[in-house]
Structure 1
């Protein structure tokens, strides 16, 4: 059983620059089957845009997805963890901050991401959440 985040994280997460349009962010999410895109500037984390952010902060306000940028709708107060953090630490951070995804940073460098689904697959591979997380995308 894995003990550290580096053992279960997705390395080389999908990143965009702050001035990437929301239409491009949405295409990346669709094409890569990912629910989040990390905003980075020279490998430094600047924010996170989730599929929910696109709906609640962009579509619900009728923003133009071709002229609104990732930086305009992202969460910039991002909770992160280190690659050498224990898995229990990631669980605690997610629980305390009510988040489903954690960018993984080594010092100032963005190195990966870990999701609640990753944790479910590792800790309880027969749970409903693990089943959903490992299922083929519904396209």
Structure 2
């Protein structure tokens, strides 16, 4: 089964110049903990609720003036939409991430797959459990 069959499409992105405050508000309204950062449909990084907490709030910075580019994680991990689910699950284990961004062959962001998506996919529930175990043990 290909990851494109189980991924969530229409992923919300922000751009490099989005303020951390606006990023946090978007996370809150969408009830999510991370956002991809894109420029011209190209993935440039990610920002998580943890990035905001550790790199902005804990350092006493102003979330209205700090930009996503200042606290993002560059070089985000990703897989391609035509890869097998098992391959994506193994990559999630190797990189210790709970969500994997999915790009097309033109390297444009087309989706995201989570551990929850893996756990609901027919035939790969064990892979989801193994992936979660590996990520949890590494933390």
Per the alignment, residue 6 of structure 1 pairs with: 4
Residue 121 of structure 1, CA deviation: 2.4
Helix, strand or coil for the counterpart of 1:37?
strand
1:124 counterpart = 2:125: yes
How many residue pairs align between the two structures?
Answer: 125
1:79-138 deviation digits (Å, cap 9, x = unpaired): 10011111111111111111111111112211111112211222339x99xxxxxxxxxx
1:40-59 equivalences in 2 (<5 Å): 40-59=38-57
**Hey, what does 1:132 align to over in structure 2?**
none
The one of 85, 88, 93 equivalent to 2:86 is: 88
Gaps of 5+ in 1: 129-139
Structure 1 counterpart of 2:98: 100
> Which runs of at least 4 in structure 1 moved beyond 6 Å after TM superposition?
none
SS at match of 1:58: helix
> TM-score with structure 2 length normalisation?
0.83
Q: How does 1:12-91 map to 2 (within 5 A)?
A: 12-91=10-89
Deviation string, structure 1 residues 35-85 (Cα, Å, up to 9, x no partner): 211100010000011111111222121221000111111111211001111
TM-score, normalising length from structure 1?
Answer: 0.83
Structure 2: runs of 5+ lacking an equivalent: 130-139
Secondary structure in structure 1 of the residue aligned to 2:26: helix
